Amino acid sequence: MSAISELSKLGGGRKALTPQERAARRKENGRDNRAGYLFLLPWLVGLFVFTLGPMLASLYLSLTDYALLQPPNFLGLDNWQAMVTDSRLHQSLKVTFIYVFVGVPLQLALALGVAMLLDKGMRGLAFYRSVFYLPSMLGSSVAIALLWRQIFGTTGLVNQILQLLGVEANTGYVSDPDTALWTLILLNVWTFGSPMVIFLAGLRQIPVMYYEASSLDGAGRWRKFTQITMPLLSPIVFFNLVLQIINAFQSFTQAFVVSNGTGGPSDSTLFYTLYLYEQGFTRFNMGYASAMGWLLLLIIATFTAINFFASKYWVFYDD
């Protein structure tokens, strides 16, 4: 308050103006706008040069046979037609969909469960919160993916423990087509920390009096959860769901490192982005890779739109 009035004195106009009048005049001059645009300039340059420009370029390239080392030739919709019959592309879609539709719900359920445990207000809460949050900071790193390969390898930690328990175990889980994808889903579930922190914040927003009132009415734990927690938390659930689905569709590093960039064994971890990368950078089919990029954009946009549409029926805003 006082700072603003001090500032208005500094202006030193012919006659004293209220801050509101002053603002109005400035707006008339358009000086605000100019300064605003000037400050925005670095961001605008970034948007046009590094985001919109490349996007438009890739839209054009998706219609060409651009091979990275040679200038592109226009092909029309050939790349899109090729995608219809590309069995590895279909495999990569299948892998990615399983990953998204199994991995994301499991991850969110775990995140919510742990958040509710932590919400009870235990001692050392900050410590536990950090411990659980840590994996999500590391989860998509190369180091963790390498560690994962060790843990689930033939002579890895999991098999060592199983052997201690007397189980004959010498399959490498990351190198068996039946289990490889599940180790990656597990890796994703393990990085539940970031949605958990958001859930925790959401849980803190729910007024305690609702629970107290429902206790008086004789509501049990389950009833409190379904009738109070879930509805009031639904915007947060929605937010996490949208975010994690988008993230999961774009997963790359884990599969790249665990399979050494091949999507193996037998294409069982061939994520969509991994295949896109292979087409673009190891096969030099940059035109095809661009078309694949746009398909991914369409898929993510569709799922986000469906999410927003469906949210009308289950997300409640308490206002």
Least Å from the CB of residue 267 to other proteins:
7
> If binding is defined by CB under 8 A, does position 149 make contact with other proteins?
yes
- Residue 297: Cβ-neighbour burial (10 angstroms; 0-12, 13-18, 19+): middle
Least Å from the CB of residue 286 to other proteins:
8
- C-beta of residue 240 within 8 angstroms of C-beta of residue 111: yes
Report phi then psi at 154, rounded to 5: -55, -45
C-beta of 232 vs 292, nearer to other proteins: 292
Segment interacting with other proteins, rule: CB under 8 A, options 13-21, 52-60, 65-73, 202-210: 65-73
User: What residues from 23 to 42 belong to the interface with other proteins (CB under 8 A)?
Assistant: 30, 34, 38, 41
Helix (H, G, I), strand (E, B) or coil at 106: helix
Give the x-and-dash track for 154-193 against other proteins (CB under 8 A): x---------------xxx-xxxx----------------
- Which of 39, 74, 127, 281 is the binder for other proteins (CB under 8 A)? 281
Give one word for 285, left, alpha or beta, with left for phi > 0 and alpha for psi -120 to 50.
Answer: beta
Give the x-and-dash track for 257-276 against other proteins (CB under 8 A): --xxxx-xxxx---------
Q: How big is the chain, counted in residues?
A: 319
> If binding is defined by CB under 8 A, does position 67 make contact with other proteins?
yes
- Residue 40: Cβ-neighbour burial (10 angstroms; 0-12, 13-18, 19+): exposed
> If binding is defined by CB under 8 A, does position 205 make contact with other proteins?
no
> If binding is defined by CB under 8 A, does position 311 make contact with other proteins?
no
- Name, in order, each residue with C-beta under 8 angstroms of 274's C-beta and a sequence gap of 6 or more: 92, 252, 255, 256, 259, 261, 263
Task: Summarize as ranges the residues that interact with other proteins (CB under 8 A).
Answer: 30, 34, 38, 41, 45, 49, 67-70, 149, 153-154, 170-172, 174-177, 259-262, 264-267, 281-284, 286
